Amino acid sequence: MSWFSRILGARSTPGVALTARQEQLLGGWQQLPDADLRRSHYRCRYVVIDVEASSGDPDTARLLAIAAVAVVDGQVSFQDAWRLVLEGQAAGVNPAPSADVAATGSQAGSPLADELISFLAFVGKAPMVAYNARFVRRLLQRTLAEHLGLRLRLPWLDLAWILPDLFREFDAGPERLDAWLDHFGITSIRRHEALSDAFATAQLMQIAVAHAARKGVDTPASLRELEKARRHMHQSA
């Protein structure tokens, strides 16, 4: 076992083979300091994630695309964005490996491993945000485990739970992203396209951050507590 593998510790998925360079980059990401969740929204970076998948089941779906947009110091950073479209669907993006390699992760240095490491480098250790985060999180976790042998343990925030608590006069329900976008006049230029939806969701996050701060919910940690409380209330109802 390389010293990079010893650093990572959690990388124990059988059959995942990475090059020394990939191990080094992954080890460097692992050693980044965790985000301080007690800092003000206006002094931290969130990363809003959206994905495209072959089905609605995160345990069996193939990942077709990932997009990420940063919200920095309370503002959407339109220049701070990242996208990967798999299976050669976009120019300039390496295609996904063949089905047998994707299933086993046995080809060291595969293009998909490079792209996923690039994704982690973009995210850093920032809190990750999504609408319906359970689906996005599980799909990403499975993909990262299969191709990098990595168990992703970053903090997540789910706008599907946070928005109804912040805007109780308009509860669109936990699955209705379109209703929230319409309510705030946000347009997703190409709905169900990962990058376009990530930008739209990032604008929702910007609105949520501003409104939450005015209510005294002014840190990532306090947003997580708000989400946790709403989930508990829903489960107890």
> What is the model's pLDDT at position 20?
94
- 103 contacts 112 by C-beta, under 8 angstroms: no
pLDDT band of residue 89 (cuts 50, 70, 90) is: very low
> What is the model's pLDDT at position 236?
72
pLDDT band of residue 173 (cuts 50, 70, 90) is: low
> What is the model's pLDDT at position 97?
38
> What is the model's pLDDT at position 93?
36
Measured distance CA(29)–CA(42) in Å, rounded: 24
**Mean pLDDT in residue range 182-207:** 93
Phi, psi (rounded to 5 degrees) for 159: -65, -20
**Mean pLDDT in residue range 106-117:** 77
Measured distance CA(115)–CA(65) in Å, rounded: 11
CA nearest neighbour of 78 among 67, 69, 68, 88: 69
CA nearest neighbour of 178 among 140, 131, 133, 135: 131
Measured distance CA(90)–CA(70) in Å, rounded: 22
DSSP E strands in 37-185: the ranges are 45-53, 63-72, 75-85, 128-130, 156-158
Q: Is the pLDDT of residue 96 over 70?
A: no
Measured distance CA(92)–CA(101) in Å, rounded: 21
Q: Which one is predicted more confidently, 188 or 145?
A: 145
DSSP E strands in the chain: the ranges are 45-53, 63-72, 75-85, 128-130, 156-158
Place of tokens 């792209």: 115
Q: Is the pLDDT of residue 219 over 50?
A: yes
Domain boundaries, the chain: 3-236
Residue 21: other Cβ atoms inside 10 A: 11
**Mean pLDDT in residue range 34-46:** 97
Question: CB under 8 Å to 97, separation ≥6 — which residues?
Answer: 107, 110, 111, 112
Query: In CATH, what class is 3-236?
Result: alpha beta
pLDDT band of residue 95 (cuts 50, 70, 90) is: very low
**Mean pLDDT in residue range 207-236:** 94
> What is the model's pLDDT at position 191?
84
Measured distance CA(58)–CA(171) in Å, rounded: 26
